[in-house]
Chains A and B, each alone.
Chain A
Amino acid sequence: MASGLRTWLGIAAGALMLAALFMVFVYVPTEAEEGIVQRIFYFHVPIAWVTFAAFGLVAISGVFYLWMRQQVWDELGYAAAETGMVFCTLMLVTGSIWAKPIWGTWWTWDSRLTTCLILWLLYGGYLVLRVLADDTPETARLAAVVGIVGALDVPIIIVSVRLWRTIHPAVLVTRQGSHGLEDPRMIATLLVAMAAFTAFFCWLLWLRFATLRAGARVARLKLRLALAAAGD
């Protein structure tokens, strides 16, 4: 039973998250340069990975929808966009929290945060389109195109923002990726955190997707009922 599997996924995500929390706050050693604040890294990186993955999923669903014209792809794309938006917001927040104690400002235009903001705006545009348009196959097509074009744009965005920042370096320069993870415990923690957030994302996505599917089914049934009533 699908929802049974989903429940197991939820439990697994919960367990992984607890493990991750333990590892981040207790197990992993404090990083030499940045101190305690650096622990946010173990949240920020998995969240970033999930955000980009969600974006990719929106685009891939879009491609499949335009190809197969089956509503399930449209619902998957919408669910991925909504869930991705949540994580994108978290990414902005964790990025900001990370910046503050180290550099003294809540916001900085370094390449990572800037890209994150643009991504957030792209997600936002997609969702506004969904909200403003009616629930029709036409809207599904439009959203699919927006998702695809947005995703294709992301690599160019990343490159251009990075170039922008290296030529005119900002006040601060953020660490890239896993630079500076010497201790194997750090790597382990990062991996567990990645697994935890991925599972958590998948579980949320599944929930949202199931809700959208159920909602569509209810709408169809309601319509059939109304039509049957009107027909007589």
Chain B
Amino acid sequence: MAAMLAILRKDLRLELRSGLSTTALVSLSLLILVVLVFALPASVAGAEPAAGALWVAMIFSGMLGATRALSAERENGCIRALLQSPVDPATLYAAKLAAAFIFMAVAEIAAILMMVLFFNLDFDLRIIRLAPVILLGALGFAALATLLAAISGHTRASDLLLPMLAVPMFVPALIAGVKASAAALAGEPIAAMGAWIKILVAFDVLFVASGYLLFEFVAGED
């Protein structure tokens, strides 16, 4: 536990110094939202397209974030040093997951604000209702991306492989997340989103557990 906090603290400190990850996440989200505004029909506004756009931005910026986090650890071979240390690979995964989740959550705050602006929604309390959905989504995606980035990082075309693996695996959370987000933005009561939230939770549990248990098989280098 102490080791996990040490690694997490290190990652947060590095991020505070360079700010590169969060900047990358936020910028890419902004760009994606802009592209979608141009790409979608002119009259687009309202909860559903907004929710969709937000999740598109989340997925693609999340993938970028995961790749960068991994390559930062590869610099100077630090990942090797971490694996050589007494730290469990599972603990290392937990720390990396926590860092990815925090960065994504911070970036999502900015993305939500932009989304509300671009899609002509109201700045009211309904946005707060969005928070748990987005957090669940970010957790699931962070868990997935941290594991898959480690896997795809071993191959020649890691930036091709990561989306190829991540997108189909993320589909259930994407469907549930978009539907729940749209419902939250449209002001529907929590009960209406119940089924979707359950799916998100199940997804998160599955991927956090799988990542934790399986990371040791993908972390090393041969």
Contact sample, A vs B, 15 pairs, CB 8 Å cutoff? A121-B167, A121-B168, A125-B165, A128-B160, A133-B155, A136-B222, A141-B217, A141-B218, A142-B154, A149-B207, A160-B172, A160-B176, A161-B175, A163-B199, A164-B175
Contacts known (A129-B165, A149-B169, A161-B171); A138 close to B206, Cβ less than 8 A: no
Contacts known (A142-B151, A160-B171, A164-B175); A149 close to B210, Cβ less than 8 A: yes
Residues of B that sit less than 8 Å from A by CB: 147, 151-152, 154-157, 160-161, 164-165, 167-169, 171-173, 175-176, 179, 195-196, 199, 202-203, 206-207, 210, 214, 217-218, 220-222
Is there an interface contact between A129 and B152, defined as CB atoms closer than 8 Å? yes
A138 to chain B, nearest CB (A): 4
Is there an interface contact between B161 and A148, defined as CB atoms closer than 8 Å? no
A9 to chain B, nearest CB (A): 32
Chain B residues whose CB sits within 8 angstroms of the CB of A153 once the complex forms: 169, 172, 206
Is there an interface contact between B206 and A152, defined as CB atoms closer than 8 Å? yes
Does A230 belong to the interface (CB within 8 Å)?
no
Is there an interface contact between A156 and B155, defined as CB atoms closer than 8 Å? no
Does A215 belong to the interface (CB within 8 Å)?
no
Residues of A that sit less than 8 Å from B by CB: 66, 118-119, 121-122, 124-125, 128-129, 132-133, 136-139, 141-142, 144-146, 148-150, 152-153, 156-157, 159-161, 163-164, 167
Is there an interface contact between B171 and A157, defined as CB atoms closer than 8 Å? yes
Chain A residues whose CB sits within 8 angstroms of the CB of B202 once the complex forms: 156
Is there an interface contact between B154 and A138, defined as CB atoms closer than 8 Å? yes
Question: What 8 A-B pairs are tightest by C-beta distance, nearest first?
Answer: A160-B172, A121-B168, A138-B222, A125-B165, A132-B155, A156-B172, A125-B164, A141-B217
Knowing that A66-B214, A125-B165 are A-B contacts, what are 6 other residue pairs whose CB atoms are under 8 Å apart, sorted by A's residue number?
A139-B154, A144-B217, A150-B169, A156-B172, A163-B175, A164-B179
* Measured CA separation A161–B196 after assembly (Å): 11
Interface of B is mostly: helix
Chain B residues whose CB sits within 8 angstroms of the CB of A156 once the complex forms: 172, 199, 202-203, 206
Is there an interface contact between A122 and B161, defined as CB atoms closer than 8 Å? no
Contacts known (A125-B161, A128-B161, A137-B222); A149 close to B172, Cβ less than 8 A: no
Is there an interface contact between B218 and A142, defined as CB atoms closer than 8 Å? yes
* Measured CA separation A2–B147 after assembly (Å): 39
Is there an interface contact between A129 and B161, defined as CB atoms closer than 8 Å? yes
Is there an interface contact between B168 and A122, defined as CB atoms closer than 8 Å? yes
Chain B residues whose CB sits within 8 angstroms of the CB of A149 once the complex forms: 147, 169, 207, 210, 214
Q: Which of A122, A128, A136 is the one whose CB lies under 8 Å from B169?
A: A122
* Measured CA separation A136–B167 after assembly (Å): 26
Residue in B164, B167, B169, B210 whose Cβ sees the most chain A Cβ within 10 Å: B169
Chain A residues whose CB sits within 8 angstroms of the CB of B154 once the complex forms: 133, 138-139, 142
Chain A residues whose CB sits within 8 angstroms of the CB of B176 once the complex forms: 160, 163
Q: Which of B164, B171, B195 is the one whose CB lies under 8 Å from A163?
A: B195
Chain A residues whose CB sits within 8 angstroms of the CB of B173 once the complex forms: 160
Contacts known (A129-B161, A152-B206); A146 close to B172, Cβ less than 8 A: no
A110 to chain B, nearest CB (A): 14
* Measured CA separation A136–B155 after assembly (Å): 12
B170 to chain A, nearest CB (A): 9
A46 to chain B, nearest CB (A): 24
* Measured CA separation A142–B148 after assembly (Å): 9
Residue in A118, A141, A144 whose Cβ sees the most chain B Cβ within 10 Å: A141
Is there an interface contact between B218 and A167, defined as CB atoms closer than 8 Å? no
* Measured CA separation A119–B172 after assembly (Å): 12
* Measured CA separation A163–B197 after assembly (Å): 12
* Measured CA separation A139–B156 after assembly (Å): 12
Chain B residues whose CB sits within 8 angstroms of the CB of A157 once the complex forms: 168, 171-172
Chain A residues whose CB sits within 8 angstroms of the CB of B179 once the complex forms: 164, 167
A26 to chain B, nearest CB (A): 39
Closest B residue, CB atoms, query A133: B155
* Measured CA separation A142–B155 after assembly (Å): 10
